[in-house]
Amino acid sequence: MDESIRIQRYEELPTSKHFKSFIESTNLPAVFVGCTKSWRAFSQWNPSNGGLNYLQARVGSATVEAMVSQSAPVFYGDLGSHDRVPLPFSTFIGLCKKRMLTKCKDKEEALDPCLNMENHDAECGDLSLEGVPEQIYLAQVPIMNSDREERVQLEALREDIQTPPILEGKELSSINLWMNNAQARSSTHYDPHNNLLCIVSGRKQVVLWPPSASPSLYPMPIYGEASNHSSVALENPDYSIYPRAEWSMAFAQKVVLEAGDALFIPEGWFHQVDSDDWTIAINFWWRSYTMSSMQEHMDAYYLRRILRRLIDKEMDQVLLELGMGKTRTLTQKLPNGGEADHGDDNYGKMLKGMDIKEKRLCEGNTLVELEPAAVQVLHELVSWVHNCISVSQDQESHSASTSDHNLGENDECKKAVTADLNDDPVAKIIWDVKPQTLQYVFLAMAHNFPRTLEALVLHVLSPVGAEVLTRKFDEMDQQILEEDRNRFYEVFYSAFDDQSAAMNSILKGKEAFAQQAFKNVLDKFVGVNLKS
């Protein structure tokens, strides 16, 4: 986990100004110890101290929606994995009392006289959920909702809680109650609002992942009703289906919240919550400054900018995973078991016969003598091209101005074009060589092996190879003078019968690489898998 995104812990509650400027603005989680201890709810709602009776008296039989799931104690938030069942609040309190009574009997503990358990059977009898486990979860039951006031079910509890001072000046979207009658686990998800989760009684353990960890959590498709939820099961996850999830905890942070604590969960942060028996929490949701400031007419632009940035990062990541960027070793793996066998022995003669100290390429250009490293790179590139391109048997005699053989596509070449990116030796050769050395190699190829250079670009270079090549060109451009740069490209493209075709081939290769990166982005961050 990146140390720069560690959860901060505050023993004293900061001011609203400090919270806004140094905590909320960073989009990083923070724990505030003792945030709710001054609330009436903190002293009055505690189930171990008569709080269930208090809550029942305050709310009565108001109807609330409870989550019921066959997977309890794990509650998955997607609509297909649970049911929302309306029931009287008093019925839920009855279930809490029943479980508390059972646990006390099992432990042979004395019951708190305030529990008044004598009527618990009648209260639980109100629950007409035949065949459904008694473990249910009050999740996101509104105490206040600015958008849907008619849906507020527990407004009577508003007087017992206070808006934390750090939220002073915030336009709250909603205040909700979360309460479970037994240990419960909520599935991994993110919220589209900033969230302050306040523990009134009990305890919660929260696991948090930054939005950048989305690929390891496999968010559900963006077009679905549960797009903010992870597809990975909490219990017995199938890593054969979700392989990246096996390393998801490397990006996670855990925090334990005791009664009185509060946790700031920024919008977009994935979180998974485990709750102890009879844990009661209140959360406050409000829109972030970023989302509040976005104008709808700019959405399409921001979407394209963000996608482009994710695509660029994904392309860098793909190259990194392919081992690009490592220090070049002296030898590279060659085809045919490492032997420089290219159909006949004439290629070796050609390479030996080439004028390494080539005469002036044009007026104003100094002579270039290829160093051993450049000769090796030249040898490897020509080797790979000749390995997948058929060589004409009718060869012209070699001279000081020798051009290489007539080259044509064959099945091996086509195979090289469509090969898995993890087996792309040409791209790796180009990536590992120094820009200036590559410049000398290409000049030598353009002068001595123009058809090989043409075949390399038009037929052998893969999409990742095209991306690597242009990145090397960019590095080269920064290291040489403009005059030399222009002359290099003039000589390089002079090797092609159709210069536009060469440029087009490189461009289409780069776009194919970017398109695959785009598909990866959709899969990792949007939950949409576009098959190639």
CATH number at residue 231: 2.60.120.10
Question: Do 219 and 194 fall within a single domain?
Answer: yes
Per-residue model confidence as pLDDT tens digits over 316-373:
999 888 877 543 333 333 333 333 333 334 444 444 444 433 333 443 333 356 888 8
Domain count of the chain? 2
Percent of the chain whose predicted confidence (pLDDT) is above 70: 78
Q: What does pLDDT average to over the chain?
A: 82
pLDDT band at 5 (very low <50, low <70, confident <90, very high): confident
Q: Which amino acid is at 364?
A: G
Identify the pLDDT of residue 510.
Answer: 96
403 Cβ contact partners less than 8 Å away, ≥ 6 residues apart:
396, 448, 449, 450, 451
Please tell me the pTM assigned to this model. Answer: 0.80
What six digits make up the tokens of 485?
A: 């740069």
In 3D space, the residue among 353, 358, 378 whose CA is nearest the CA of residue 368 turns out to be 358
Rounded Cα distance between 523 and 515, Å, is 12
83 Cβ contact partners less than 8 Å away, ≥ 6 residues apart:
67, 68, 69
Identify the pLDDT of residue 101.
Answer: 85
Q: Is residue 38 a part of any domain in this protein?
A: yes
Answer with the residue of higher pLDDT: 507 or 132.
507
Identify the pLDDT of residue 357.
Answer: 36
Range 43-51 average pLDDT: 94
Question: Do 378 and 229 fall within a single domain?
Answer: no
Q: Is residue 52 a part of any domain in this protein?
A: yes
Identify the pLDDT of residue 339.
Answer: 38
Q: Is residue 328 a part of any domain in this protein?
A: no
Question: Do 88 and 149 fall within a single domain?
Answer: yes
CB 175 within 8 A of CB 198: no
CB 119 within 8 A of CB 128: no
Q: Is residue 493 a part of any domain in this protein?
A: yes
Rounded Cα distance between 367 and 96, Å, is 88
pLDDT band at 270 (very low <50, low <70, confident <90, very high): very high
Question: Do 429 and 459 fall within a single domain?
Answer: yes
C-alpha dihedral sign at 383, 385, 389, 391 = negative
Phi/psi for 506 (5° steps) reads: -65, -45
Range of the structural domain that residue 495 is part of: 296-323+367-389+419-531
pLDDT band at 396 (very low <50, low <70, confident <90, very high): very low
In 3D space, the residue among 402, 460, 398, 400 whose CA is nearest the CA of residue 427 turns out to be 460
Query: Is 242 in a helix, a strand, or coil?
Result: coil
In 3D space, the residue among 120, 114, 142 whose CA is nearest the CA of residue 51 turns out to be 114
Q: Which amino acid is at 325?
A: G
Rounded Cα distance between 419 and 322, Å, is 13
Answer with the residue of higher pLDDT: 141 or 5.
141
Whether the pLDDT of residue 50 is over 70: the answer is yes
Q: Strand 357-358 relative to strand 368-369: parallel, antiparallel, unpaired?
A: antiparallel
In 3D space, the residue among 279, 249, 182 whose CA is nearest the CA of residue 1 turns out to be 249
Rounded Cα distance between 426 and 403, Å, is 22
Question: Do 283 and 308 fall within a single domain?
Answer: no
Q: Which long-range contacts (CB under 8 A, 24 or more apart) does 111-115 make?
A: 112/48, 112/49, 112/50, 114/49, 114/50, 114/53, 115/50, 115/52, 115/53
Identify the pLDDT of residue 81.
Answer: 75
**Structural domain ending residue among the three candidates 293, 311, 346:** 293
Q: Is residue 122 a part of any domain in this protein?
A: no
Q: Is residue 343 a part of any domain in this protein?
A: no
Question: Do 269 and 305 fall within a single domain?
Answer: no
Rounded Cα distance between 204 and 36, Å, is 15
Rounded Cα distance between 501 and 510, Å, is 14
Identify the pLDDT of residue 495.
Answer: 94
Query: Is 342 in a helix, a strand, or coil?
Result: coil
Which residues are registered as beta bridge partners of 189?
Answer: 229, 271
Whether the pLDDT of residue 83 is over 50: the answer is yes
Question: Do 165 and 307 fall within a single domain?
Answer: no
Range 189-207 average pLDDT: 97
Phi/psi for 368 (5° steps) reads: -120, 120
Identify the pLDDT of residue 422.
Answer: 53
pLDDT band at 532 (very low <50, low <70, confident <90, very high): low
Identify the pLDDT of residue 384.
Answer: 87
Q: Is residue 474 a part of any domain in this protein?
A: yes
Identify the pLDDT of residue 228.
Answer: 94
Rounded Cα distance between 287 and 501, Å, is 51
Question: Do 242 and 315 fall within a single domain?
Answer: no
Helix 482-494 with 435-448: angle, nearest 10 deg: 40
Identify the pLDDT of residue 78.
Answer: 75
Spell out where 169-222 has E strands: 172-180, 184-186, 194-201, 203-209
Question: Do 237 and 255 fall within a single domain?
Answer: yes
Per-residue model confidence as pLDDT tens digits over 464-498:
999 999 999 999 999 989 999 999 999 999 999 99
Which residues are registered as beta bridge partners of 88?
Answer: 63
**Cα angle: 323, vertex 328, 332; to 5 degrees:** 85
Answer with the residue of higher pLDDT: 36 or 395.
36
What six digits make up the tokens of 138?
A: 């009050």
Question: Do 252 and 314 fall within a single domain?
Answer: no
Q: Is residue 47 a part of any domain in this protein?
A: yes
Question: Do 266 and 318 fall within a single domain?
Answer: no
Question: Do 94 and 225 fall within a single domain?
Answer: yes
Range 237-252 average pLDDT: 96
Range 231-239 average pLDDT: 93
CB 357 within 8 A of CB 402: no
In 3D space, the residue among 446, 392, 455, 391 whose CA is nearest the CA of residue 426 turns out to be 455
